[in-house]
Structure 1
Amino acid sequence: MLLVGLTGSIGMGKSKSAELFEAEGLPVYDADASVHALYEKGGAAVAPLSEHFPEAIKDGAVDRTILGKLVLNDGEMLQKLESIVHPLAGKMQKDFLETQEAAGKKAVILDIPLLLEKKAEGLVDVVVVVSTSPEVQKQRVLDRPGMTEEKFHSILSKQMPDSEKREKADFVVDSTISVADAHRQIRDIISRLDDIPARALAVRKALTT
């Protein structure tokens, strides 16, 4: 089973691209959605986070806005957060891969925002980077509710520059023109996946045995 890592900086159109891959029949694991599930009432991350970030727990769930403010520009707090959440999210991803492999899927999409920042490209067979111009990126992000210039630049400072991501990509989806144009690019990428050897899943299994 081929593991396709889908990534891209904030505002690049990665989430829409994931939807387009899914529309073409490729199962998608959404790393952000998995974390959302961990933060919901009854989620596996609520209890351990309540020990270190009690003010972020509201009505039995993690308030992401409060949590975000607590770790914003605080590397030590962010590291603590990641040490709790990443193992839990990793298990969810492992379960997803096992389910899709058992179902006989030939390829899956792993939608992982910080794939390259975490130097995890060796755990996928293909890296797809979604990109657009800096002007379009900034406008998209600042149009989001609650977003500010300060928050935008803080997020960017933690992400690899788009030019470097493009260099590390096997394929680039340019989301600038339109959704239809991005969809055309994605169909072209899918048509070329059969020529790529699937090795990453075996690497992952070797690392966990």
Structure 2
Amino acid sequence: MTATGNTRVIGIIGPPCSGKSTVARQIESMGGVWLDADKIAKEQLTRSDVIDALVREFGAGVLLDDGTLSREKIADLVFGSSDESKARLKTLESIVHPRTRQEIRTALQAAREHHAEYVILDVPLLLESGWQSDCDEVWCLSVPPDRHHALLAARGWDRDELKRREKRQLPWGEKRRRSDWVIENDGSIEELTKKVRDRLGR
């Protein structure tokens, strides 16, 4: 990893329901800054320039009566297996992703300027999109298969949808190899917390 400075920037990766948010909240409670790309991307959907761009692409039917964006209508347009849905998803990403990336970079710079001790960079496809160059280290969450399947089922995840998402990613074996630390989340939350504190020397 190539990031430098007093702020320790930690990229965090792992499949859904692997414990990423638990680790991020823990470090946030220790005074760290959690940059959640999914949350930042959703915030972009409230920007007037983004709404205008999406209306130009998809029509006024994506708006609610109050002029705000209907996330449900957008989801209906872009999530599907058809070529049309895939093309619309690429269009959505071309509008939202550059703005999200800039917001993350601005927040990361602000954290460094304020001498935050830690930043958790929680970005989907972190390795695939090159964000590891902004990190001092990358942590990868790993969960035993049986436990992971149970967690996915409890959260209502569709296994086929998960497989479709994974096709867009590096294999998890490769992600583990590229990570600086693999966190085996195979115990209680307290045990996971201790592993993180030990890693940080806290």
Shorter-chain TM-score: what band? 0.7 to 0.9
**Cα pair 1:10 1:156 within 8 Å, conserved:** no
When residues 60 and 162 of structure 1 are mapped into structure 2, their CA distance, relative to the original with a 3 A threshold, is farther
* SS in structure 2 of the partner of residue 158 of structure 1: coil
Partner of 2:142: 131
How far off is 1:16 after superposition? 1.6
2:169 is aligned with 1:174: no
Partner of 1:185: 195
When residues 172 and 29 of structure 1 are mapped into structure 2, their CA distance, relative to the original with a 3 A threshold, is same
When residues 64 and 157 of structure 1 are mapped into structure 2, their CA distance, relative to the original with a 3 A threshold, is farther
Partner of 2:133: 122
AA of the residue aligned to 1:32: D
Partner of 1:196: none
AA of the residue aligned to 2:161: K
Provide the alpha-carbon RMSD of the alignment.
Answer: 2.3
Looking at structure 2, the residues matched to 9 and 151 of structure 1 have their Cα atoms a distance apart, in angstroms, of: 13
Looking at structure 2, the residues matched to 14 and 190 of structure 1 have their Cα atoms a distance apart, in angstroms, of: 16
AA of the residue aligned to 1:53: F
AA of the residue aligned to 2:164: S
When residues 64 and 139 of structure 1 are mapped into structure 2, their CA distance, relative to the original with a 3 A threshold, is farther
When residues 114 and 188 of structure 1 are mapped into structure 2, their CA distance, relative to the original with a 3 A threshold, is same
Looking at structure 1, the residues matched to 118 and 42 of structure 2 have their Cα atoms a distance apart, in angstroms, of: 24
- Deviation per residue, 1:109-155 (Å, 9 max, x gap): 1111210232332232211111212332232223225x433323222
Structure 2 unaligned residues grouped into runs of 5+? 1-6
Partner of 1:50: 55
TM-score (normalizing by structure 2): 0.81
Structure 1 unaligned residues grouped into runs of 5+? 193-209
Partner of 1:204: none
**Cα pair 1:141 1:152 within 8 Å, conserved:** no
Where in structure 2 are the equivalents of 1:53-132 lying within 5 Å? 53-54=58-59, 55-58=61-64, 59-72=66-79, 73=81, 74-132=85-143
Partner of 1:162: 172
Partner of 1:149: 159
How far off is 1:22 after superposition? 1.0
**Cα pair 1:24 1:187 within 8 Å, conserved:** no
Give the paired residue count: 190
Where in structure 2 are the equivalents of 1:17-32 lying within 5 Å? 17-32=23-38
